[in-house]
Amino acid sequence: MGLGIRKACVLLGLALEITPAPLLASGKQPLAAVQAVGTPSWLNVADPALIIGVLLVVVLLVAAWGCVLLAKVKRQAASITVRSETTARQERHNAQLEAKRSRILEDINSSRPLPELIEAINEMVAFSLDCPFAWCEMLDSGSLGNIPASSKGLRIAHLEIPARAGGTLGTLFAATESGQPIHTDEKAMLEAGVRLATLAIETRKLCKDLVYRSEFDLLTDIYNRSSLDRYLEEQIDKANTDRSIFGLIYVDLDVFKDINDFYGHHIGDLYLHEVSIRMKRQLRTGDMLARLGGDEFAALVPVVRSRAALEEVAQRLERCFDAPFAVEGRVLRGSASVGIALYPEDGSTADSLLSSADAAMYVNKHTKRHRTEMPGQLQKALFKPGR
């Protein structure tokens, strides 16, 4: 009991020794002064769990905002990537489409056959619309393209191919599966295909017409002088290579001028046309008949064994005039003089062969027997009205 009191006194003495003088002078109790100076912050006395909880909430909110922001950035990046890929894919598609179109235009200006051009146009339309079937039905050439075996389950779009002068040249078709959405550029792509098809068809028709005019006589529908000269040169080269012979027959109409004088040029033109048809029937498949001009014709006989065989062909041509010609209700009687030349016996060039055949024709014309008719009787001899 006494020991405890002594310890308490010692501790109190120590406290009094460390107490500042101002505090002792003020007469205040030491413990109160210590408590006033040592009042702790609310952070030291608050619940640590509450502080940690608030901090966790803040961290979670920041993390959530970061995740949302990251997801948004990823979505935007993915959208940009998709748009870029779509744009790049569309640009590649457009570039390929333009390359196909340019190639078709180049081929139209070349000698590529029309069926191949139409096939290329069908392929371009199918590529542009991403459809499996595209084809053309043309009035004078049938159907060309990838035609489905059955239209069941297909949606078929079509557009007529117009002619520039009016009318239609055919129809362009494109077929897709019924469930697929309609292509946004379907009408534009069909119109582009139709324009190319019109250009291709009419250009080929024009080229064909120009070639025909350059090779054929428009009045008689047989070869012209230019074609004869070309084929004659080719036949000379072939005969030189094969060491063969061929024949040339020169034909001159005897009464053509009289027909023109009595009935005019219209009847004369029709007479020339009928004469050409009849002479072609006397020739073989490989033989060539050409109109040199006016009332003069020539027949190229590429395969002949002898002069006698060539003379036989010439006689057929001369005798085919024995029967009268019916022209617009009139019966016209005509005749012709013929001359032959054999390669290389009568000439080794085209000009020399023509000259030899022409000379032989004139000899025949002036030596064969002609009946002398009075001017008033000429019409009865040459022209007899049809019944």
Which amino acid belongs to residue 261? D
User: DSSP letter string over 200-256?
Assistant: HHHHHHHHHHHHHHHHEETTTTEE-HHHHHHHHHHHHHHHHHHT--EEEEEEEESSH
pLDDT tens-digit profile of 51-60? 788 888 899 8
User: What is the spatial distance between Cα 13 and Cα 1, in angstroms, rounded to a whole number?
Assistant: 19
The residue-averaged pLDDT of 111-116 equals: 92
The angle formed by the CA atoms of residues 204, 99 and 148, to the nearest 5 degrees, is 70
User: What is the spatial distance between Cα 206 and Cα 109, in angstroms, rounded to a whole number?
Assistant: 12
What is the pLDDT, as a whole number, of residue 264? 92
Region(s) of the chain under CATH 3.30.70.270:
219-385
Region(s) of the chain under CATH 3.30.450.40:
112-213
Q: Place 376 in a pLDDT band, splitting at 50, 70 and 90.
A: very low
User: What is the spatial distance between Cα 105 and Cα 110, in angstroms, rounded to a whole number?
Assistant: 9
The residue-averaged pLDDT of 348-359 equals: 96
Strands across the sheet containing 142-146: 142-146, 133-138, 168-177, 154-162
142: tokens are: 């049938």
Please give the residue that has the higher pLDDT: either 369 or 12. 369
pLDDT tens-digit profile of 263-299? 999 999 999 999 999 999 999 999 999 999 999 999 9
253-281 b/e (C-beta count within 10 Å ≥ 16 → b): bbbbebbbebbeeebbebbbbbbbeebbe
Residue 111 DSSP SS3:
coil
Residue 136 β-bridge partners: 144, 172
Q: Which of 5-19, 38-52, 170-184 has the highest mean pLDDT?
A: 170-184
Quickly name the fold that domain 219-385 has: Alpha-Beta Plaits (3.30.70)
Measured in whole angstroms, the distance separating CA 193 from the mean position of its chain's CA atoms is 8
The residue-averaged pLDDT of 159-188 equals: 91
What is the pLDDT, as a whole number, of residue 16? 44
Q: What is the pTM of this model?
A: 0.64
43-64 b/e (C-beta count within 10 Å ≥ 16 → b): eeeeeeeeeeeeeeeeeeeeee
User: What is the spatial distance between Cα 203 and Cα 108, in angstroms, rounded to a whole number?
Assistant: 7
Residue 51 DSSP SS3:
helix
Q: Does 195 have pLDDT greater than 70? A: yes
What is the number of alpha carbons within 13 Å of residue 341 lying toward its C-beta? 27
Q: Which of 6-15, 27-36, 169-178 has the highest mean pLDDT?
A: 169-178
Percent of the chain having pLDDT more than 70? 83
Q: Does domain 112-213 have CATH number 3.30.450.40?
A: yes
Task: Determine contact, residues 118/145, Cβ cutoff 8 Å.
Answer: yes
What is the pLDDT, as a whole number, of residue 86? 77
302-331 b/e (C-beta count within 10 Å ≥ 16 → b): bebeeeeebbebbebbbebbeeebebeebe
